[in-house]
DNA sequence: AAAGTTTCTTGAAACGTTTCAAATCGGAAC
DNA sequence: GTTCCGATTTGAAACGTTTCAAGAAACTTT
């Protein structure tokens, strides 16, 4: 790889002049500028970001840390971020923490040593991360949190209207006549999962519907978690007539469980998810889901980040993006009479309505 | 951020000694080593990868360039690569080229200026990329191609058995009695897409089945492409009784088109995909698909890459990973008599059974 | 034409590491 | 108590940039 020195020699100018041409940092007269540009072209010179970053104390990269690249929601966010960053001349480098706390910390630490302009993080754990992030007081890379908000985090954030989304979904089920509504949450230490549960509770409370404790199951945000939580729920007495899965991966697991138990959706149990992934539209039946604007989430994250780079002292902002309920054949009215498996009494009381 | 100099001062040793301790590059007697380690811990020192990389002409990052992060196949590959790289002490940084040639080149060029140990690339375009890669003759980062093989590319590669996989899928359709089999390919300048088409052709030729030219549709590797290609195919006369979609995103598009035209899968038309994505198992009906070992693809890529770092002069290797056909309800026997839309005569023949 | 301005250009320092020749140390042999 | 030798430790150079004080050139003014 050619260096600036070789350019300087070939163009017969000084090193400083080459730098000035390359960065427009000072006026350079046409003939010299020309010679430099020619030399650059002739040698195919590309500046070393390493050296440049070392000297300027900052590189043109923006780091992004996501919890799980195999959950299609995150790639959507990444794409939004990538487009926005690339458009502004920054290169997005992505790190997949794989839901692993130590990997997340390792990436956070490593990324820093590359002096990126900023870091966009979808945090997957709380306490540790907060400490790390805490040290972003005055200098170092700008950090923006996406999708989830660590407790005590003071900084820019973009999230979606989790609580409202959950209310929409739950309310819709209530409107259809469901009285036995269960939910499978994500890990409740995550702000989003917590908010969705709050929304679920709020909607039911407002409709004066009781929720048995065991109708709220905490799970990881993946298919396996949803599957096993659903197996449990679907064998309870009385069986819930609707399940609100707090993300689409969980909903997929629920769908598997439903199928496996020989039940039919939505005849026996309605199902609504959260994310609105493309792929869940093609499920059997098409999944109703609360749509999150993943692409915008990422794009907005980069926007906040770059604005803060420009004005480090502006007030912290917290953008909340709206969600919308996508209807789908996976929800319908509750079964007119709920079949009981064991208890005769429950079958009797049930028909009182 | 503390620097090595501050460590040296605090530990009351020279800069060189700190470096020796940190890299075990020379024996350092216990008392000194101790002092250095203490200082490192006290200051929370992290070496600057920028400075280190500049000096050593190589950093601990491995770059990875993928064509489309929203196609779930690629995240699976990334995860495999990430696990393998992380386990060996390297940090994987991912760049999403977004099916965009200029982005791909920009990332390739930029990545290089960070002096990564290696680059893992799933190339999405041919000529340009080959030129870029070509310059990796003797020095610079090790480059390994994944999944697709640029023409004239001399270097390590990992791909899957595309042709064999396509044969498996096609053969299965033939065995079920299909005679009118169409395919929707990916962009044929990609080696994988090309190979799959070859496999498709080979299986049919062997069974002495003719393929009308219009039964082979080229498309992009995404849902939209599959959808519009399928709309065309499904309105041809005679209508194919089976479609081999050359990846699962295309298959999803086909499924949408089938549904939209009021047809039923597999009653009217069988569908088989390629990728074996998790999510397509839950489709309506569950998609039969040729499974590719995405995770292993990524992991093997890193393995080859690191082996070449160790022994730059070994012979180039080309690993081919096996594919397996995943059965699913989306394929069945052809309709006994194929319904025609316009011609009366064919409507008459239909009732003969 | 000399002095004064303004505009360009240059050279050297600095960023935080690694590396390596040279200096120092601690003993063993004399 | 010297002299030597191998084992440690040190100091300075180098990696490829940017930055900035200072020098050189090109114009203006007188």
A54: which chain B residues are within 8 Å (Cβ-Cβ)? 48, 50-51, 54
Torsion angles phi and psi, residue A119, rounded to 5: -135, 130
Mean pLDDT of the residues in chain B: 90
CB burial string A143-168: b at 16+ within 10 A, e below: bbbbbbbbeebebbbbbbbbbbbbbb
pLDDT at residue number A70: 94
Name residues 39-58 of chain B with a Cβ under 7 Å from nucleic strand D: 51, 54-55, 57
**3-class secondary-structure state, position B263:** coil
Torsion angles phi and psi, residue B254, rounded to 5: -60, -45
Query: Testing the interface with A: which of B40, B69, B73, B105 to mutate, by most A Cβ within 10 A?
Result: B69
Closest nucleotide to B14: CA versus each C1': D10
* Residue with token string 């003759």: B137
Query: Which CATH class for the B58-160+294-322 domain?
Result: alpha beta
- Residue A38 to residue A10: CA distance in whole angstroms: 9
B86: which chain A residues are within 8 Å (Cβ-Cβ)? 103, 106
- Residue B87 to residue A255: CA distance in whole angstroms: 35
Please answer yes or no on whether B53 and A50 come within 8 Å at the CB atom: yes
Closest approach of chain A CAs to the CA of B48, in angstroms? Answer: 5
Nearest to A225 by CA among A265, A200, A252: A252
Q: What percent of chain B has pLDDT over 90?
A: 78
Please answer yes or no on whether A54 and B50 come within 8 Å at the CB atom: yes
**3-class secondary-structure state, position B270:** strand
Query: Which CATH class for the B162-289+326-350 domain?
Result: alpha beta
B335-339's contacts with Cβ under 8 Å and 24+ in sequence apart are B335/B241, B335/B267, B335/B268, B338/B180, B338/B238, B338/B239, B338/B241, B339/B268
Please answer yes or no on whether B82 and A96 come within 8 Å at the CB atom: yes
pLDDT at residue number A132: 56
pLDDT at residue number B267: 94
Distance B19 CA to D2 C1' (A): 36
pLDDT at residue number A129: 55
Question: For the domain bounded by B4-47, which CATH number is listed?
Answer: 1.10.260.40
Three-state SS string over A30-84 comes to HHHHHHHHHHHHHHCCCCCHHHHHHHHCCCCEEEEEECCCCCCHHHHHHHHHHHH
Per the structure block, which two tokens stand in for A88? 């502004």
Per the structure block, which two tokens stand in for B94? 């991912």
Nearest to A90 by CA among A118, A65, A114: A118
Do B168 and B321 touch, CB atoms closer than 8 A?
Answer: no
pLDDT tens-digit readout, B259-269: 999 999 999 99
**Cis status of the peptide bond prior to A266, with omega within 30 of 0:** yes
CB burial string B299-322: b at 16+ within 10 A, e below: bbbbbbbbebbeeeeeeeeebeee
Please answer yes or no on whether A107 and B95 come within 8 Å at the CB atom: no
Name the residue among A1, A112, A279 with its Cβ closest to that of B279.
A279
Closest nucleotide to B20: CA versus each C1': C18
Band of residue B346 on the pLDDT scale cut at 50, 70, 90: very low
Do B180 and B240 touch, CB atoms closer than 8 A?
Answer: yes
Closest approach of chain A CAs to the CA of B101, in angstroms? Answer: 14
Nearest to A276 by CA among A160, A141, A152, A188: A160
Closest approach of chain B CAs to the CA of A152, in angstroms? Answer: 23
Distance B9 CA to C29 C1' (A): 38
Band of residue B129 on the pLDDT scale cut at 50, 70, 90: low
A60: which chain B residues are within 8 Å (Cβ-Cβ)? 110
- Lowest pLDDT segment from A323-327, B73-77, B92-96: B92-96
Assess whether pLDDT exceeds 70 at residue B338: no
pLDDT tens-digit readout, A160-191: 999 999 999 999 999 999 999 999 999 999 99
- Number of cross-chain residue pairs from A and B with Cβ atoms under 8 Å apart: 130
- Could you check: is the Cβ of residue A9 within 7 Å of any atom of nucleic acid strand D? no
DSSP code per residue over B294-309:
HHHHHHHHHHHHHHHH
How far, CA to CA in Å, does B300 sit from each of B61, B80, B84, B279, B320? 17, 8, 8, 24, 10
Query: Quick check: do B58-160+294-322 and B162-289+326-350 share a fold?
Result: yes
Q: Which residues contact B288 (CB under 8 A, 6 or more apart)?
A: B169, B172, B270, B271, B272, B273, B325, B326, B327, B328, B329, B330, B331
- Residue A155 to residue A316: CA distance in whole angstroms: 5
Distance B270 CA to C5 C1' (A): 85
Mean of pLDDT values over B72-85: 96
Start-end of H helices in chain B: 4-11, 15-23, 30-43, 49-56, 73-87, 101-113, 127-134, 162-175, 191-206, 223-234, 248-260, 294-310, 344-350
CB burial string A26-44: b at 16+ within 10 A, e below: eebeeebbebbeebbeeee
Closest nucleotide to A6: CA versus each C1': D16
Band of residue B337 on the pLDDT scale cut at 50, 70, 90: low
Q: Give the start-to-end residue ranges of the domains of chain B.
A: 4-47, 58-160+294-322, 162-289+326-350
Assess whether pLDDT exceeds 90 at residue B128: no
- Residue A323 to residue A166: CA distance in whole angstroms: 9
Domain range A162-291+326-350, its CATH number among 3.40.50.2300, 3.30.70.1140, 3.30.420.280, 3.30.565.10: 3.40.50.2300
Residue of A nearest to B87 (CA): A103
Band of residue B101 on the pLDDT scale cut at 50, 70, 90: confident
Closest approach of chain A CAs to the CA of B104, in angstroms? Answer: 11
The alpha carbon of residue A19 and the mean position of all alpha carbons in its chain are separated, in whole angstroms, by 40
pLDDT at residue number B26: 86
Please answer yes or no on whether A113 and B255 come within 8 Å at the CB atom: no
Please answer yes or no on whether B78 and A93 come within 8 Å at the CB atom: no
pLDDT at residue number B91: 92
pLDDT at residue number B324: 97
Assess whether pLDDT exceeds 60 at residue B348: no
Angle in degrees, 0-180, between the axes of helices A162-175 and A191-206, rounded to the nearest 10: 30
pLDDT tens-digit readout, B293-320: 999 999 999 999 999 999 888 899 999 9
Please answer yes or no on whether A49 and B92 come within 8 Å at the CB atom: no
B94: which chain A residues are within 8 Å (Cβ-Cβ)? 93-96
- Could you check: is the Cβ of residue B32 within 7 Å of any atom of nucleic acid strand D? yes
| Partners of A158 in the β-ladder | A146, A319
Which residues of chain A are modeled with pLDDT < 70?
A: 126-139, 337-353
Distance A289 CA to C1 C1' (A): 87
CA closest to C1' of D12 belongs to B16
Per the structure block, which two tokens stand in for B127? 């000529």
Please answer yes or no on whether A283 and B283 come within 8 Å at the CB atom: yes
Please answer yes or no on whether B54 and A59 come within 8 Å at the CB atom: no
Band of residue B151 on the pLDDT scale cut at 50, 70, 90: confident
- Residue B183 to residue B254: CA distance in whole angstroms: 11
pLDDT at residue number B102: 86
- The upper half-sphere exposure of residue B275, i.e. CA atoms within 13 Å in the direction of its Cβ, equals 26
Please answer yes or no on whether B93 and A95 come within 8 Å at the CB atom: yes
Nucleotides of chain D within 7 Å of a protein C-beta? Answer: 7-21
- Could you check: is the Cβ of residue A29 within 7 Å of any atom of nucleic acid strand D? no
CATH fold of A59-160+294-323 reads Rossmann fold (3.40.50)
- Residue A47 to residue A52: CA distance in whole angstroms: 7
B103: which chain A residues are within 8 Å (Cβ-Cβ)? 86
Mean of pLDDT values over B62-78: 95
Residue of B nearest to A112 (CA): B48
């Amino acid at each position: 790889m050619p260096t600036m020195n070789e350019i300087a020699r070939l163009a017969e100018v000084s090193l400083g002049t080459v730098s000035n041409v390359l960065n427009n940092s000072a006026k350079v007269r046409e003939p010299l500028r020309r010679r430099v540009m020619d030399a650059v072209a002739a040698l195919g010179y590309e500046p070393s970001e390493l050296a440049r970053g070392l000297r300027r104390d900052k590189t043109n990269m923006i780091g992004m840390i996501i919890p799980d690249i195999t959950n299609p929601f995150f790639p959507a966010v990444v794409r939004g971020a990538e487009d926005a960053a690339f458009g502004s001349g920054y290169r997005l480098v992505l790190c997949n923490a794989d839901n692993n706390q130590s990997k997340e910390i390792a990436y956070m630490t490593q990324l820093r040593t590359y002096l990126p302009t900023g870091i966009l993080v979808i945090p997957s754990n709380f306490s540790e991360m907060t400490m790390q992030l805490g040290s972003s007081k005055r200098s170092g890379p700008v950090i923006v949190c996406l999708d989830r908000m660590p407790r005590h985090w003071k900084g820019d954030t973009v999230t979606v209207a989790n609580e409202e989304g959950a209310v929409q979904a739950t309310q819709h089920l209530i409107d259809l006549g469901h009285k036995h509504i269960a939910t499978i949450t994500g890990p409740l230490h995550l702000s989003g999962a917590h908010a969705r549960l709050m929304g679920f509770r709020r909607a039911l409370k407002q409709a004066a519907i009781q929720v048995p404790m065991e109708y709220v199951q905490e799970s990881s945000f993946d298919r396996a978690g949803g599957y096993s939580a659903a197996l449990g729920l679907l064998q309870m007495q009385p069986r819930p007539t609707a399940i609100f899965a707090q993300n689409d991966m969980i909903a997929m697991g629920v769908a598997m469980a439903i199928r496996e138990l020989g039940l039919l959706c939505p005849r026996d149990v309605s199902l609504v998810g959260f994310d609105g992934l493309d792929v869940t539209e093609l499920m059997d039946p098409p999944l109703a889901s609360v749509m999150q604007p993943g692409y915008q989430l990422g794009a907005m994250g980069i926007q906040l980040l770059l604005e803060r780079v420009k004005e480090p002292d502006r007030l912290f902002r917290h953008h909340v993006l709206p969600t919308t309920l996508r209807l789908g054949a996976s929800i319908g009215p509750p079964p007119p009479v709920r079949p009981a498996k064991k208890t005769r009494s429950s079958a009797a009381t049930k028909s009182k309505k």
